[in-house]
């Protein structure tokens, strides 16, 4: 995948996460900033930061429970450690920080 393909795919993924959070009805504030950074803020002031990392061609997630790197496998973004799918992992992380079930699709 070249830089242009990565950036297009990563931007679409960030927009999809933003839309999924809105559709979930969860009580979180979400802001998609220029440059490929999505900030998800919870009632307790904690955040999850999701951003694209062009050099590695990965999507990085920073949450209270740690940092995660996701690489495109040709179909979905997979965690480089445990192969979890990005939206599933984000659902778990957001649920942990929100103290309520958040299902992202």
Q: What is the pLDDT of residues 56-70, one digit of tens each?
A: 999 999 999 999 999
pLDDT tens for 19-57 read 999 999 888 999 988 888 999 999 999 999 999 999 999
Please count the other Cβ atoms lying within 10 Å of the Cβ belonging to residue 60.
Answer: 15
Q: What is the pTM of this model?
A: 0.93
Query: Smallest Cα–Cα separation from 103: which of 5, 13, 1, 24?
Result: 24
Burial of residue 77 (CB within 10 Å: 0-12, 13-18, 19+) is: buried
The token duo for 92 is 């778990």
């Amino acid at each position: 995948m070249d830089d242009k393909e990565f950036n297009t795919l990563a931007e679409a993924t960030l927009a999809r996460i933003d839309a999924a959070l809105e559709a979930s009805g969860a009580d979180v504030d979400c802001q998609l900033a220029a440059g490929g950074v999505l900030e998800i803020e919870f009632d307790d002031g904690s955040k999850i930061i999701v951003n694209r990392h062009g050099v590695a061609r990965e999507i990085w997630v920073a949450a209270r429970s740690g940092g995660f790197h996701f690489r495109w496998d040709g179909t979905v973004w997979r965690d480089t450690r445990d192969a979890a799918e990005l939206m599933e992992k984000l659902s778990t992380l957001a649920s942990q920080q929100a103290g309520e079930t958040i299902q992202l699709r």
